[in-house]
Structure 1
Amino acid sequence: MSQIDSLPPLREVIARHGLSAKKQLGQNFLLDLNLTARIARTAGPLTGVTVIEVGPGPGGLTRALLAEGARKVIAIERDERALPALAEIAAAYPGRLDIISGDAMTTDYAALADGPTRIVANLPYNIGTELLVGWLTADPWPPFFQSLTLMFQREVAERIVAKPGDDQYGRLGVLCGWRTEARIAFNVGRENFTPPPNVTSAVVHLVPKPVAADIRVRDVEAITRAAFGQRRKMVRQSLKSTSVPVDKLLAAAGLRGDERAETLPVEAFLAMAKALRD
């Protein structure tokens, strides 16, 4: 474990501030500064960039983001025990770390954007997917952020990047495939965390891409909810729950009706979502 700045090792910080991880907050701390630096670099060059970080805990990733040259880091932390440790980082990087004591689930992220903005976080496992969906369903689109570099359980990461025909392909894969270019950057073994979780984790990098303005999020959600709600059935049957003539939806996407949701490309769901609106 290398030092990236003059601050004390993270284990010392945790011990001094009594920062034992809380399961109810989904906390699993990364203590290897080489690894946090790798996550920060996955977000791309950070010079001149504002980075929003969710759940910094003792600040391992926070320090890496600042050391990699982020113009400003805005750290949102619900656990008040971590605030003194973060304040020490702020003192070491004057004017470059803003600490928000609050709930990540109720934060107005767009209001925090300041120039080129990226979101980089080792997300708490218990809210990670919900936060991602919130960021990806924001309007207007393209969004306020340039990219998302996020830690998830490996199982969730596979759902994010899943393609038609994959066992993990579902509503999350359609949403991410529609609005972003997503890739798994690398895996992170459970032994790298304190305490070790029961699963392997992965860092996912997502970059927003342009989408058609005439397709609404709520229509895509309605179509995918119906299609994957009965994923083992043919779409002619599963789409009946939309209360729209199924033949109209199938015709819009060029489908026969005997396909199953997990085999359909993202474009088919978008075509049906547009027909649903029309």
Structure 2
Amino acid sequence: ARQLANRFGSGRTAFTGGIPPEDVFTTYGRSKVVVDEGGSLHRPITMRVFEAVGSGAALVTDPAPGIDQLFELGTEILSLDSENPAASIRIDRAMGAVAAAGTERALGVHTYDHRVDDLLRILLDVDKRPVAVQPARPNLVRAVERFAEIDSIACAETDRERWTPTSYVVWSHAEIVGRQISVDAVIVTENSGLAHDLVRLAHRYVICDPGISSTVRSMLSAGERHFVESLEDDVVVFDFEVPGYIVRGTPWQA
């Protein structure tokens, strides 16, 4: 935020907090540039990439894996320099050309209609033989799947195998602790035990086996974060009630 204010002037930048989901389209439509910054928390690629580009703004975004298969970097969208984000943003004809090219690509091949057409083609080509019955999902996996906003999770190394068939970005304790990132949900089981430094990385939820819930509750109660506790599918969920969709800042004009 300070870099942007220094580069474009305090009179042309404003940072006032979040906006509700129903105002996202209007905000993007009034913006010349949308900065999508979130590091590993934006993997997999989220809907805001398509919302921003489809609204006519130039998108400057983290280079999430696979995004170069959807848009041409440098021509239709721009990569964000995480060390110097202000250097990635400019207001000129070249940026306008990026916005136009990105919008053309988004509306030409990346709308919901296009994805439905893709799905129908897959269904027409799919093997007609009966599909083998899939084994039941463990309670923890079923509980996590109830929350559409969960993209990334962290768990003990001993629990990582159960998440292998899922689509989540999964971090083990050893991989994530000590890094300056957080995850949507931290998963705690009776077998893995409770790692305080891991639980502190939860952005939205801590989800745990009932047998260890009292320990989790005591640890969270000792902190300053508000949470709501509930029982979902025989699993205890500690919900920090983080808003599901926040766009930080307000649009500025050239």
Name which structure has the greater RCO, CA cutoff 8 Å, separation 6+.
2
When normalised by structure 1's length, the TM-score is 0.29
When normalised by structure 2's length, the TM-score is 0.31
